[in-house]
Amino acid sequence: MITHHWSYPISAIADRNSAEKNFMEIIIGSDHAGFDLKEACKAHLESLDDYIVRDIGVFNKDSSDYPKVAQKLARSIADGKYSHGILICGSGLGMSIVANRYKGVRAALCHNLYLARMARMHNDANVLVMGERVIGWGLALEMVDLFLKTPFEGGRHKLRLDLIDKG
């Protein structure tokens, strides 16, 4: 069976896309320091049957440069190929700095459920950034779920985002 670089067969993607249900496509990436947590998040999302996950690497724990992964993910969000993404490195700091350099990307470094919820509700964040060396996996998976399911409130928060975009 032919497989894509994602973790499930191409035929499964076609079957899932042809169903009436809408699936959210998520792009996810990490450096070597976030590899294990990225794999856990990816497996978790795929098990929920609500998401199609595109893993852009890294694909092992060999030393890697986080800017390359963050740039690839941020470009995909900025170009409109994906609406939401997840970046993971050791602390989350480097990934968030790189991703936020791209127009239209609002990457939020979150360490707890409150920040994950508020990033979506008030800031319409489209990239969740986490540090594998900073948070536990159970909390990380809860944050992923909360981040992806929390809607943006709009209203006065939209006005504030417009101010940011004006630069």
Q: Would residue 89 show up in a list of annotated catalytic residues for this protein? A: yes
Beta strands in 17-157 (DSSP E): 24-30, 51-55, 84-89, 107-109, 127-131
Computed from CA positions of residues 35, 59, 100, 119, in that sequence, does the dihedral angle turn out positive or negative? negative
- Which of 89, 110, 111, 157 is the catalytic position? 89
Q: CA–CA separation, 120 vs 128, rounded Å?
A: 9
Q: Are 97 and 104 in contact (CB under 8 A)?
A: no
Residues with Cβ within 8 Å of 86's Cβ and at least 6 positions away in sequence, in order, are 26, 27, 28, 29, 38, 41, 127, 128, 129, 130, 144
Residues with Cβ within 8 Å of 117's Cβ and at least 6 positions away in sequence, in order, are 146, 147, 150
Q: Would residue 122 show up in a list of annotated catalytic residues for this protein? A: yes
- Which of 44, 111, 122, 157 is the catalytic position? 122
Token reading at 57: 């690497």
Please name every residue paired with 135 in a beta bridge, in sequence order, or none if there are none. Answer: none
Which residues are identified as catalytic? 89, 122
